[in-house]
Amino acid sequence: MARTPSRSSARSAPSPAQPADREGREPPRTARGARSRALLVKAARTVFERDGYLDARLRDITEEAGMSEGSFYTYFSSKEEIFAAVLEEVQEEMLHPHVREMIDEDDPIAVIEASNRAYLRAYQQNAALMGLLEQVAAIDENFREVRQQRTRAFARRNFQSVRDLQERGLVDADLDPVLATAALSHMVSRTAYAAYVLGEDYDFENLVFTLTRLWANALGIPAAATS
Amino acid sequence: MARTPSRSSARSAPSPAQPADREGREPPRTARGARSRALLVKAARTVFERDGYLDARLRDITEEAGMSEGSFYTYFSSKEEIFAAVLEEVQEEMLHPHVREMIDEDDPIAVIEASNRAYLRAYQQNAALMGLLEQVAAIDENFREVRQQRTRAFARRNFQSVRDLQERGLVDADLDPVLATAALSHMVSRTAYAAYVLGEDYDFENLVFTLTRLWANALGIPAAATS
Amino acid sequence: MARTPSRSSARSAPSPAQPADREGREPPRTARGARSRALLVKAARTVFERDGYLDARLRDITEEAGMSEGSFYTYFSSKEEIFAAVLEEVQEEMLHPHVREMIDEDDPIAVIEASNRAYLRAYQQNAALMGLLEQVAAIDENFREVRQQRTRAFARRNFQSVRDLQERGLVDADLDPVLATAALSHMVSRTAYAAYVLGEDYDFENLVFTLTRLWANALGIPAAATS
Amino acid sequence: MARTPSRSSARSAPSPAQPADREGREPPRTARGARSRALLVKAARTVFERDGYLDARLRDITEEAGMSEGSFYTYFSSKEEIFAAVLEEVQEEMLHPHVREMIDEDDPIAVIEASNRAYLRAYQQNAALMGLLEQVAAIDENFREVRQQRTRAFARRNFQSVRDLQERGLVDADLDPVLATAALSHMVSRTAYAAYVLGEDYDFENLVFTLTRLWANALGIPAAATS
DNA sequence: AATGAATGAGCATTCATTCAT
DNA sequence: AATGAATGAATGCTCATTCAT
């Protein structure tokens, strides 16, 4: 039942014509297995960052991991899948930036700045992977979804503060909060992309300052609120 | 890339940035040749928009054009090259939007709005191709360059007005004009991408209004200046 | 539309994971193409008969034909398909045996004998291929169908004479003509298989005589009718 | 075959004809071992009947048996070998049909009928496995041998009665008893195959009757002998 | 005895590109 | 200019079999 195509049809040899139809191998049951899987993920990240997603061959990955080609399929069933595993590995780091500075939660601009700073820092730190995600998202619908979720997670966090401010009368009431948040989030993320993936030469602090100021201004947060 | 026919990595010729001197075939000398070339470009656009850049095979293109496989190489020497030709075809339309409304050049917000409206309109009109460019830019360095140029062209136009306004004291003087312009341009272009390529459901006029208001606010253009 | 899987999914290189979904390439348009196709079919027959269906690799076939691996797919999309082409090639010869002796159509036993003789002769002549068909039919449902049709074609021919004889009162009236014909046809074909594929050492004339006599007796055709 | 692990071609050991001395693993020494082996054989039969011989993977079998992949080799050394074990398991049942009706051993037609009935009953009961054997015999020379032996065992039994009858002058003396027996045996076995493996819709009793009548007639057993 | 991880040979298939006509 | 046949490198994937625990 598992293997779709064959059954009745003639099949003799390894028959390479069967694409991976079951997604995801079972998780390793032994410590050794877990180690091997981790090795592969690590190797995959290296290879992906070095060669790009398209140019990375599974063979390169297993070789980098010092394993045989066939072993790849013990843990993953496709390039997509191991790429997803690589992303997951970084996920946490990206979403929960280690640096957690003390800020005055009541100072809206300080909140915005902290958010931007954290985002840019994380982006910078994982620039290679973010560029990769951008590349893969352009190619593979599934990862477009992953990117969307990342984008939305960032936007949602920002949306909160925008709404709060709007309710407190601190923000331009004419603005559609959803659209405004999305647009500003795009501003930050795309600028980060330009800076750290495309390599535009922007100073980090200048970036933080400018994006924060633009953001605050855009929403119409009174400069006075800063003090 | 290094491997097969290659893709992103170092390549000498195709350089779509300088459409003139690429390695490509010489321009057709006969009328018949010109027609064939045009047929191919048209077919290529159809196929690219239908299948995406990666999944498009040269064979699909020649077939769509009703020509034999071999004929492709009479006019182009690679998929990159014909893609560049497709882009060129649209270039003009994109950069010089047909609609040219009368606006008060002295009203900065009106200028911004006109710019945004024109940009969004053009983006919407060529959404499929813009999505494609985004895809190809993620894959091929040369086209990343093309995209950069498009981005910069848009930014440059915006930069002018920012500088003007700043000189007239109408804009937040603390802002780095280059960075600010870039960031705001990213805001617009990426939001356009979200709307017309990813299919986020935004109302066109709301988009124009919101982006314009955010932009104006961000720069600190006094609301009064609107009237 | 033609290629099923990809479209949105990431695909860079040749992606060997796509099974042939369109069956049958277009027929060759040039004389050279026709020659190449014929070469392949001939080579396929050689290889199949030498190595058996399962052990035959497409590569062996193209090699035997003196062509490159890729060329196979210009004319066929799978091993099944070229095997079908090989069978077709022999079809005619099998169904219309060259030798057409003069017999007294009114002598039922002479008719049976002629039929058996022709069948056995054809079987013997194409023994290798018949063994192959038997092998492939055991493996591939589609070819089981092909074999069924061959079997039925033989049975149908025999059925006619059985019915005729039954109507003339020359045949055991208790027998179910359909079943009886099928059973007797199996007797002949399977004995042919034993003789010419499995290599049981039976004398040809003895075979013809015995099978004919058994057949005639079985139906209850009066021996008198022979004279 | 020569290539991979191999299949049909020359191989020394597995020789399923002599179940005793094959290369296989030694018989289990502990009760636990015997149980495991039995589990595997049972699982193998299930999988073979479900997926066919070629499509059955050793992994499927061990999985079905609830054992680890490696354990397979504790008891068997190849797919051929476990298939032989599966066959053996049924052998007895096939050759010594449970139903043993009382018949008048002196009534030749009753004997023939009993033989046919028993054969058809057994075939029907083990149709899946018989189809499998047919399939494997088409692929693997060793099992072709097994099938031959089964065929001959059936023929030999029949041969006895044919010879007896011939000596008693009850049978067409012109017939070559060896060939005639073989041919008639093929008639029965192949018709059984058509009915129970290929699924031709024949009534069981009609089958018994028709085959018996054909058989008796074919040999020229006087109808009178029936009474 | 049992486990499950590791191995790696083996093969079909695609598609850009060339070439003879 | 156009054709379409020929090319062949390139790579993902399977699965029987071995091996360290």
Q: Are residues B126 and B203 in the same domain?
A: yes
In this prediction, residue D162 carries a pLDDT of: 83
**Residue D2: its pLDDT value, please?**
32
Contact B184 A179 (CB under 8 A): no
Q: What is the arithmetic mean of pLDDT over B47-65?
A: 96
The single-letter code of the amino acid at B196 is Y
Range with the poorest average pLDDT among A191-200, B107-116, D57-66: B107-116
Give pLDDT, residue B102.
75
Residue A14 has pLDDT above 70, yes or no: no
Residue B67: both structure tokens together: 């020509």
Would residue C10 count as lying in a domain?
no
D166 touches chain C (CB under 8 A): no
Which of A57-66, B70-79, C52-61, C102-111 shows the lowest per-residue confidence on average (mean pLDDT)? C102-111
CB D127 within 8 A of CB D141: no
Total Cβ atoms within 10 A of residue A99 = 9
Contact B90, B42 (CB under 8 A): no
> Given a cut of 70, is residue D226 above it in pLDDT?
no
The CATH number of whichever domain residue C203 belongs to comes to 1.10.357.10
**Band of pLDDT at residue C32, cut at 50, 70 and 90:** very high
Alpha-carbon span C110 to A150, nearest angstrom: 85
Establish whether chain B is in contact with chain A, requiring a minimum of 3 CB pairs below 8 angstroms: yes
- pLDDT tens-digit series, residues B18-51: 333 345 677 777 888 899 999 999 999 999 999 9
Alpha-carbon span A124 to A196, nearest angstrom: 6
- pLDDT number for residue C16: 36
pLDDT higher than threshold 70 for residue B98: no
Average pLDDT over residues A93-112: 74
Q: Average of pLDDT values for C72-80?
A: 96
Those nucleotides of strand E lying less than 7 Å from any protein Cβ are: 1-20
Q: What confidence score (pLDDT) does residue C96 get?
A: 64
- Residues C121, C46, single domain; the answer is no
Whether residue D13 is predicted with pLDDT greater than 90 in this model: the reply is no
Kindly state the average pLDDT of the residues C46-66: 96
- Contact criterion met (CB below 8 Å) for B158 and B74: no
Same domain as A216, residue A138: yes
Asked whether the predicted pLDDT for residue B206 surpasses 60, the reply is yes
Nucleotides on strand F lying under 7 Å from protein C-beta: 1-20
CA A98 remoteness from chain centre: 16
E2: residue with closest CA to C1': D71
Rg (CA), chain B: 20
- Phi, psi values for residue B204, rounded to 5°: -60, -50
Determine the structural domain holding residue D62 and report its residue range. 31-87
What are C170's two structure tokens?
Answer: 């020359």
Query: Hey, are the CB atoms on C12 and B54 less than 8 Å from each other?
Result: yes
In a domain, A165, yes or no: yes
Looking at B16-140, list the stretches that DSSP marks H as alpha helix, in order from N- to C-terminal side: 31-51, 58-64, 72-75, 79-95, 108-125, 127-139
Provide the pLDDT for residue A95: 66
> What confidence score (pLDDT) does residue C8 get?
36
pLDDT of res. A151: 87
The number of residues in chain B equals 227
> Which nt is closest to the CA of D29, judged by C1'?
E1
Q: What is the pLDDT of residue C48?
A: 97
Residues 72-111 on C with a CB inside 8 Å of D are none
Decide: B109 and B216 in contact? Cβ < 8 Å. yes
Which is more confidently placed, C17 or C42? C42
Contact yes or no for A146/A137 (Cβ under 8 A):
yes
Chain B window 71-90, residues with Cβ within 7 A of nucleic strand E: 72-73, 77-79
Q: Does B13 have pLDDT greater than 70?
A: no
Q: Nearest-CA neighbor of D48 among D128, D126, D123, D122?
A: D128
Alpha carbons D212 and D216: distance in angstroms, whole number: 6
A223 pLDDT tier (thresholds 50, 70, 90): low
pLDDT for C18 beyond 90: no
Question: Cα separation of C213 and D167, whole Å?
Answer: 19
User: In 10 A of CB B173, how many CB atoms?
Assistant: 9
Please check whether residues B214 and B128 belong to one and the same domain: yes
Domain assignment present for residue A195? The answer is yes
Task: Determine what percent of chain A falls in helix, strand and coil, rounding each to the nearest 5.
Answer: 65, 0, 35
Looking at the structure, do residues A79 and A116 belong to the same domain, yes or no?
no
State whether B143 and B125 are in the same domain: yes
**Nucleotide at minimal C1' distance from the C31 CA:** F5
Contacts of A12 in chain D (CB under 8 A): 7, 54
- Distance of alpha carbon C206 from alpha carbon C120, whole angstroms: 12
Which residues from C are below 8 Å from A138, CB to CB? none
Gap between the Cα atoms of A176 and A166, Å rounded: 10
What pLDDT shows up at residue B126? 93
Asked if A13 is an interface residue toward chain D (Cβ–Cβ < 8 A), one would say: yes
**What number is the average pLDDT over the span C178-207?**
96
Q: What's the CA gap between B191 and A176, in Å, rounded? A: 14
Is residue A5 in a domain?
A: no
- Taking the CA of residue B77 and the nearest CA in chain A, the distance in Å comes to 21
Does residue A1 lie in a domain region? no
Q: What confidence score (pLDDT) does residue D223 get? A: 65
Mean pLDDT of chain A: 85
Interface of B with A in 22-61 (CB under 8 A): 54
- On chain C, the residues whose CB falls within 8 A of the CB of D194 are 182, 186
Nucleotide nearest A69, CA–C1', reads E8
Q: What's the pLDDT tens digit per position in D144-183?
A: 999 988 888 888 888 887 888 888 888 888 899 999 999 9
Do B84 and B104 lie in one domain? The reply is: no
**C8–A140: do the CB atoms touch at under 8 Å?**
yes
Distance of CA C97 to the CA centre of its chain: 13
Burial of C49 per CB tally in 10 Å (0-12, 13-18, 19+): middle
Residues A123, A213 within the same domain:
yes
Per-residue model confidence as pLDDT tens digits over B159-190: 888 888 888 888 888 899 999 999 999 999 99
| Residue with the two structure tokens 């009106």 | B110
The answer to whether A71 touches A116, Cβ cutoff 8 Å, is no
Listed residue (C122, C121, C120, C126) closest to C48, CA to CA: C126
d(CA D128, CA D87): 12
Residues of A 87-126 whose CB lies less than 7 Å from any atom of strand F:
none
Listed residue (C159, C188, C191, C192) closest to C176, CA to CA:
C159
Pick the last residue of a domain from C88, C107, C126.
C88
Q: Above pLDDT 70, what percent of chain C?
A: 84
What's residue C14's pLDDT?
A: 39
> Would you say the pTM of this structure is higher than 0.95?
no
Top pLDDT among A148 and A96 is at A148
| DSSP codes joined into one string, D124-148 | HHTHHHHHHHHHHHHH-HHHHHHHH
Nearest-angstrom CA–CA distance, B185 and B155:
6
Residue A128 lies in a domain: yes
Q: Point out the residue among A5, A12, A54 whose CB comes nearest to the CB of C12.
A: A54
CA A168, CA A105: separation in Å to the nearest integer? 14
Residue C141 domain flag:
yes
To which H or E segment does residue B107 belong? none
- Which chains does B contact via 3+ CB–CB distances below 8 A? A, C
Q: Is residue C158 packed enough to be buried (19+ CB in 10 Å), middle (13-18) or exposed (0-12)?
A: buried
Dihedral (Cα; D96, D100, D102, D104), 10-degree rounding: -30
Residues C84 and C45 in one domain: yes
Three-class DSSP category at B217: helix
Across the range A96-117, mean pLDDT stands at 79
Q: Does residue A46 belong to any structural domain of this protein?
A: yes
Is the pLDDT score of C42 beyond 70? yes
Query: What is the pLDDT confidence band of residue B97, given thresholds at 50, 70 and 90?
Result: low
pLDDT band at residue D26 under the 50/70/90 scheme = confident
Write down the pLDDT at residue C100: 60
pLDDT of residue D163: 82
CA-to-C1' span, A143 to E18 (A): 37
* In a shared domain, residues C125 and C216: yes
- Asked if residue C36 has pLDDT above 90, the reply is yes
C192 and C209, same domain (yes or no): yes
D101 three-state secondary structure: coil
Q: Any chain A CB within 8 A of the CB of C14?
A: no
User: Is the pLDDT confidence value at D196 over 80?
Assistant: yes
Amino acid in the structure at residue D217 = N
pLDDT for res D24? 63
Number of domains making up chain C: 2
Is the pLDDT score of A4 beyond 50?
no
Q: Of A63, A88, A113, which closes a domain?
A: A88
pLDDT class of C9 with cuts at 50, 70, 90: very low
On the question of pLDDT at D8 being above 60, the answer is no
From first CA to last CA, the distance across chain A in angstroms is 68
Could you say which residues 16-75 of protein chain D have a Cβ atom less than 7 A away from any atom in strand E? 28-30, 32-33, 36, 67-71, 74
CATH code assigned at B39: 1.10.10.60
| Among candidate residues D87, D105, D132, the one where a domain is terminated | D87
Residue D11 has pLDDT above 80, yes or no: no
Together in a domain, C101 and C119: yes
Q: Is the pLDDT of residue A63 over 60?
A: yes
| Burial class for B212, CB neighbours closer than 10 Å (0-12, 13-18, 19+) | buried
